[in-house]
Structure 1
């Protein structure tokens, strides 16, 4: 008796030309998904398409500025015209400015907020518009430990990620109230080795770097894939550094303020000299015309890890709880046995 082949999953990934978005598109492609790639950069989109097809998926590249709601809506419509109903929408696209607050202009602040926060809002609007009539679908918001804990030199980015966190929680409550079949979950990321540090607008004396420990984008992608498959959880934490930061911020935020005031400037700058001609992608994509494909990885492969035991723990709370309960029972039995001697 033959079984009916399962239709390929239709997935939209924003910011898919590089970094976490690129690695996430690759992860979905490896299991045969139809992957719509939304980004601005032509070279990056072409490379992402080649990745998806090489790994066994179907690719659809759509040049999209996530800060433009009309472009986002048009992209979603095009995806369903070509691939069919969207099953999973993953919001990843972001930008940033590395500088003290007083050195960031109002226009730059507005741009970061429009891409990082409103881009997620517009993407979620487009996804829900299509998922609600079917009462099915999953939306994954890729967040950061900085959605809970602000750090110096990244005020614009931290503010936008805090906004996404509040938006996600409010929307999740509404979906639960409506008993909706649509699920939304958020994945809080650690420092990841992505090209953002090669193309970010920076006014620091030295090149920007992720705060160690640094994880490879494939770790982040595996977390996104798992969250998309298990969206009942409100959020997932990736990396021991994320867990440690969020716990410390909940217990002693004032102490963490002082620690970051001492260490947050130096830990975000590499020892290499700053290249005055390095590209920036705030207003125009660094991988656009005349640019090159930056791929998923940044410049820190020699310092990044592709493993995260904490990620496994985050995904297996039930197993850990069962194991802990077993240890408690065993200890109780052993204590009882000793008491009867």
Structure 2
């Protein structure tokens, strides 16, 4: 396999951290972009241990000039960028009426415009070469909003619309640069311990929960097969998107009843917990939080639905074979018996 240059934003922890490790296993050169220096140092060590070449860069994706400068440095030190993974985000756990407008704008600048900035920096370099892949790390919440996450849901919806529009433009131009999106379920990452929360109890992902390595596998596969417009990970993602398409009003009422409880543990929130909205929770002198959150004992290590998403042709062929077998059996059952 040819060594590639891969950029991962939000690489200091969670899904970005796990994704960087997965790419590094192929001996690739990995540019690690994030704000948290402690997390970046840990991610760089992870990449080296996995067999890759790391380039950690401290950058706030809300700042386009800084992102563009980081891309220039990546190409100068590692070579032409082959894959760009937009993953960096922040959020606020709270009802909309309890989120200050500056905090809401900050979430939007990082979690939505950060993707726009990364995509712009990548395309500026990929389009003249007419090659490259951009992977947008999305969520089931790109299609279906839930309570207590208005800022994050708004950002994910915006990324979805932005990516669809951009994909059409690239197709119109006949470009061989590809952009794809990976829609994820709830993932066991450190975010639930460092995202700004105004909830009375400790925040948690909505079960079922998956390990970040499941998400990383999907992202790496998407980068390797970027012609697919989207990948859905987790049965809960599929169920949510289908339910929202068929009966969104019913889902509104269901989430109104269950959404607050399902996103909080029974334990009270620690008022001293860090918040990474304006400053990184893994900055200088702070601990490295790694890829996993506090829900290992409740998290799935694989997704059957992801396998199905990666093997559409095989699943379709198997479905056609089963349908054909059933039709033959039904026809045989209806064939009149010959009288003797």
- Normalising by structure 2, we get a TM-score of 0.98
Would you say 1:304 and 2:299 are equivalent positions? yes
Q: CA–CA distance in 1 between the matches of 2:44 and 2:76? A: 18
Select which of 73, 76, 79 maps to 2:71. Answer: 76
Q: CA–CA distance in 1 between the matches of 2:285 and 2:193? A: 16
How many residues are aligned here? Answer: 336
Select which of 214, 222, 225 maps to 1:230. Answer: 225
Q: CA–CA distance in 2 between the matches of 1:256 and 1:335? A: 38
Would you say 1:124 and 2:80 are equivalent positions? no
Alignment of 1:62-141 (within 5 A): 62-141=57-136
Q: CA–CA distance in 2 between the matches of 1:199 and 1:335? A: 58
List alignment gaps of at least 5 residues for structure 2.
none
Name the structure 2 match of 1:50: 45
Q: CA–CA distance in 2 between the matches of 1:256 and 1:52? A: 41
Name the structure 2 match of 1:329: 324
Q: CA–CA distance in 2 between the matches of 1:137 and 1:131? A: 6
List alignment gaps of at least 5 residues for structure 1.
1-5
Aligned-pair CA distance for 1:334: 2.3
Q: CA–CA distance in 2 between the matches of 1:279 and 1:334? A: 62
Select which of 167, 192, 198 maps to 1:197. Answer: 192
Select which of 267, 270, 286 maps to 1:272. Answer: 267
Select which of 157, 163, 171 maps to 2:166. Answer: 171
Q: After superposition, what is the alpha-carbon deviation per residue over 1:41-69, rounded to whole angstroms, capped at 9, x for unaligned?
A: 01000000000000000000000100000
Aligned-pair CA distance for 1:340: 4.7
Secondary structure at the aligned position of 1:270 is classed as strand
Aligned-pair CA distance for 1:273: 2.0
Secondary structure at the aligned position of 2:203 is classed as coil
Q: CA–CA distance in 1 between the matches of 2:330 and 2:93? A: 56
Aligned-pair CA distance for 1:335: 2.7
Q: CA–CA distance in 1 between the matches of 2:146 and 2:35? A: 28
Secondary structure at the aligned position of 1:246 is classed as helix
Secondary structure at the aligned position of 1:8 is classed as coil
- Normalising by structure 1, we get a TM-score of 0.97
